[in-house]
């Protein structure tokens, strides 16, 4: 189907993830969330997984984030290349910004450093300040999160994710609670700042997926399976154009069938 994408040289340190024949069921439920799931997440590019709410895409992401330990039955093969323990190599960004209300913007960016013993406090402070400049919030470093707008808060969350500096970034609809223009700007910013990372973005918005995906999977059915869709050959983040609109219409059509 695809294969036409501009072949990127795999960036140094980037990690790819392959899932073969994935099967997942919550231990407290009989319902199988997904089955025969085959996903190949390429290194150093954005992979979008599209599906309607409740299709199991979040479960997949949470499994990759290692948040479902002891809660699910998993079968299948999950491999990374180069071989690594994926749970130490991921950063996670959720739909809510998850900023701690008692920490200043700067301290929120520094949150991950509280959990690892280090003596490079000064260097990390500088790094956090730099990241705040990159997301355009250097003047808000000492504000509390509740003094910021939704878009600003999600930008802080982005800076916090970048602070972790992990090769894999898992995003669970991080832009969905924002208004259209803020979302557009944040997509551009995130794309620009997460260039060399392997990004997995979960979304229910076909437009967002078409804008950002180098690889686009659609998840549907019960139990769900994933299918690779072709995306425009242009480089993301893409402008809205006729080709994108057409693709969006096709995807909508497919997702609609899932409701019957």
Partner 1 sequence: MSDLKQVNIMLTQLKKKAHHSLPVLRLIISATVIISLWQAIVVIFEMPSFILPSPFSVFDKLIERAPVLLKHSWVTAQEIVLGLLLGLTMGLLFALQMLLFKPVKRWLLPILIASQAIPVFAIAPILMLWLGYGIASKIVMAALIIFFPITTCCYDGLRNTPVGYLDLAKTMGATKWQMLRHIQFPAALPTLASGIRVAVVIAPIGAVAGEWVGSSEGLGYLMLQANARMMIDEMFAALFILSALSVTLYFVADKLLKKFIYWQV
- Our finding on whether 100 is near partner 1 (CB under 8 A) is yes
Helix extents (H) in 93-177: 105-109, 121-134, 150-164
Contact set for partner 1, span 122-151 (CB under 8 A): 144, 146
Nearer to partner 1 (CB atom), residue 115 or residue 259? 115
Nearer to partner 1 (CB atom), residue 164 or residue 243? 164
Contact (CB, 8 A) for 162 and 131: yes
- Our finding on whether 164 is near partner 1 (CB under 8 A) is yes
Burial class of residue 177 in the structure, from the number of CB atoms within 10 Å of its CB (0-12 exposed, 13-18 middle, 19+ buried): middle
Residue span binding partner 1 (CB under 8 A) among the ranges 1-9, 36-44, 108-116, 233-241: 108-116
Closest separation in Å from C-beta 244 to partner 1: 32
- Our finding on whether 106 is near partner 1 (CB under 8 A) is no
Give me the DSSP letters along 213-256: -SEEEEEETTTBEEEEE---SSPSSPPP-HHHHHHHHHHHHHHH
Residue among 2, 21, 96, 249 that touches partner 1 (CB under 8 A): 96
198-203 β-sheet, strand order: 90-93, 168-172, 198-203, 46-50, 215-220, 225-229
For 144, the token pair is 């509390």
Nearer to partner 1 (CB atom), residue 49 or residue 90? 90
Tell me which residue of 95, 35, 93, 31 sits closest to 60, measured CA to CA: 35
Closest separation in Å from C-beta 171 to partner 1: 12
Q: Collapsing DSSP states into helix, strand and coil, what is residue 141? A: coil
At a CB cut-off of 8 Å and minimum separation 6, what does 62 contact? Answer: 68, 172
Residue among 55, 65, 131, 224 that touches partner 1 (CB under 8 A): 65
Residue span binding partner 1 (CB under 8 A) among the ranges 40-48, 83-91, 194-202, 231-239: 83-91
How far apart, in whole angstroms, are the C-alpha atoms of residue 58 and residue 64?
10
Contact set for partner 1, span 23-62 (CB under 8 A): 62
- Our finding on whether 92 is near partner 1 (CB under 8 A) is yes
Nearer to partner 1 (CB atom), residue 5 or residue 112? 112
Output the furthest CA–CA distance in the chain (Å, rounded): 57
- Our finding on whether 9 is near partner 1 (CB under 8 A) is no
Residue numbers of the site for partner 1 (CB under 8 A)?
A: 62, 65-67, 88, 90-92, 94, 96, 98, 100-102, 111-112, 114-116, 144, 146, 164, 170
């Amino acid at each position: 189907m695809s294969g036409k994408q501009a072949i990127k040289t795999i960036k140094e340190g980037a990690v790819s993830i392959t899932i073969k024949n994935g099967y997942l069921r919550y231990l407290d439920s009989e319902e199988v969330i997904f089955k025969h799931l085959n996903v190949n997440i390429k290194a150093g590019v954005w992979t979008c997984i599209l599906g309607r709410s409740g299709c199991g895409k979040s479960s997949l992401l949470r499994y990759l984030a290692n948040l479902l330990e002891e809660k699910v039955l998993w079968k299948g093969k999950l491999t990374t290349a180069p071989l690594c323990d994926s749970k130490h190599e991921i950063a996670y960004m959720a739909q809510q910004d998850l900023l701690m209300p008692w920490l200043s913007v700067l301290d929120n960016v520094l949150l991950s450093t509280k959990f690892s013993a280090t003596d490079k406090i000064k260097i990390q402070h500088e790094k956090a300040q730099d990241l705040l400049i990159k997301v355009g919030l250097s003047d808000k470093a000492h504000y509390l999160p509740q003094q910021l707008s939704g878009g600003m808060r999600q930008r802080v969350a982005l800076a916090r994710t970048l602070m972790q500096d992990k090769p894999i970034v898992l995003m669970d609809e991080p832009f969905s609670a924002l208004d259209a223009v803020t979302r557009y700007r944040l997509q551009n910013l995130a794309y620009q700042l997460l260039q060399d990372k392997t990004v997995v973005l979960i979304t229910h918005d076909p437009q967002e997926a078409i804008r950002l995906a180098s690889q686009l999977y659609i998840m549907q059915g019960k139990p769900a399976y994933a299918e690779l869709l072709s995306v425009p050959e242009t480089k993301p983040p893409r402008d809205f154009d006729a080709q994108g609109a057409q693709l969006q219409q096709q995807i909508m059509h497919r997702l609609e069938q899932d409701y019957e």
